Amino acid sequence: MAILFHCPWANADEWRRRIAEALPEAEIRVWPEIGDPHDIEFAILWKAPPGALKGMPRLKGVCSLGAGVDHLLADPELPDAPVARLVDPLMADRMAEYVVGHALRHHLRTDEYAAQQRAGVWARLPYKDAAARTVGVLGLGALGRRSAERLAAQGFRVAGWSRKAKEVEGADCFHGPDGLAAMLRRTEILVCLLPLTPQTRGLLDARLFAQMPEGAALINVARGDHLVEADLLAALDSGRLSGATLDVFSEEPSPPAHPFWRHPKILMTPHVSSLSEPRTGAAILAAQYRRAMRGEAMRDLVDRDAGY
């Protein structure tokens, strides 16, 4: 009985070694060396080629190597086995650190002061206390919740939005379409942490930006396809938005000619906001494997109908 493993990252060997240490009873087969597909009972994958899991009748569970599962659900040949995301408190901490750091950057107008410095300008820009500034978090899953809590601990006013009603300590929570409009009206720094589904694809568009206060900022740490790129560029150029921090892109890495690279109001980072960590992740995946082998439900299961 074997686990199928696919990891395109530079630390793939470390992932494989740590999973093997955590699961000495299991044989790990690295895609595409799958051997007999009838042997495969479990899969741990990040962005495997479509069809990688077809013809594996004994598959009992599939785990993502990251928080997102859109790469799995996009496979039209994904078998009907339970699918789980990787939920690791360390990843939530890393995401919260990124979100708080970049919210502070926008709040403190760091980029504008850096531009002033380059131009040799000594001028104070208007200041606002964090307690008077609302940071809105779209998506209150494990990563969004931790980010919202840390933003509140940092002293920001926090508004959270989710599809269904949720509560987060220190945040005003909104849900549903009406709740989204109410949340956006007060949001000066918007953080996108939504799963990518047919409903959320393209949500960050001109219509949404128009609902936020003039000069609001955007932090997208979810998926590049949440964003309508041309609408962001227009909103930044018109001053409707003051800046954007983008960690995720429709195409990664972004092509060299992409206008985001050189836009003065955009800071790009290469999908680093919540790196999954083999040191802690391997034990979480091992526990999921053992649950599936015992015939128990895995944790953090994906609702395929909801798309996340």
276: contact with ligand OXD by CB under 6 A:
yes
Q: Helix 142-153 and helix 89-107: axis angle, to 10°?
A: 50
220: contact with ligand OXD by CB under 6 A:
no
Residue closer to ligand OXD (CB basis): 61 or 66 = 66
Helix (H, G, I), strand (E, B) or coil at 155: coil
Q: Nearest-CA neighbor of 86 among 301, 265, 258?
A: 301
Is the peptide bond prior to 253 cis by the omega test (within 30 degrees of 0)?
Answer: yes
Given the residues 85, 157, 163, 223, the one annotated as active site: 223
For tokens 């959320």, name the residue: 200
Stretch that binds ligand OXD, among 66-74, 118-126, 207-215, 230-238 (CB under 6 A): 66-74
195: contact with ligand OXD by CB under 6 A:
no
163 a catalytic residue: no
Given the residues 271, 290, 291, 304, the one annotated as active site: 271
66: contact with ligand OXD by CB under 6 A:
yes
Is the peptide bond prior to 49 cis by the omega test (within 30 degrees of 0)?
Answer: no
243: contact with ligand OXD by CB under 6 A:
no
Query: Two tokens at 95?
Result: 């995401």
Q: Shortest gap between Cβ of 95 and ligand OXD (angstroms)?
A: 9
Residue closer to ligand OXD (CB basis): 33 or 251 = 251
Helix (H, G, I), strand (E, B) or coil at 186: helix
User: What single letter denotes the amino acid at residue 34?
Assistant: I
Instruction: Please identify which residue in 274, 278, 282, 292 interacts with ligand OXD, judged by CB under 6 A.
Output: 274
Q: Which residues contact 241 (CB under 8 A, 6 or more apart)?
A: 209, 212, 215, 216, 217, 218, 232, 235, 265
Residue 188 phi, psi (nearest 5): -95, -20
Q: Helix 110-118 and helix 89-107: axis angle, to 10°?
A: 50
Q: Shortest gap between Cβ of 100 and ligand OXD (angstroms)?
A: 18
Stretch that binds ligand OXD, among 63-71, 119-127, 160-168, 292-300 (CB under 6 A): 63-71
196: contact with ligand OXD by CB under 6 A:
no
Instruction: Please identify which residue in 53, 67, 96, 191 interacts with ligand OXD, judged by CB under 6 A.
Output: 67
How many Cα atoms within 13 Å fall on the side-chain side of residue 173? 17
Q: Shortest gap between Cβ of 248 and ligand OXD (angstroms)?
A: 7
Q: Which residue is nearest to ligand OXD (CB)?
A: 66
271 a catalytic residue: yes
Active site members: 223, 271
**Residues lying near ligand OXD in the complex (CB under 6 A):** 66-68, 274, 276
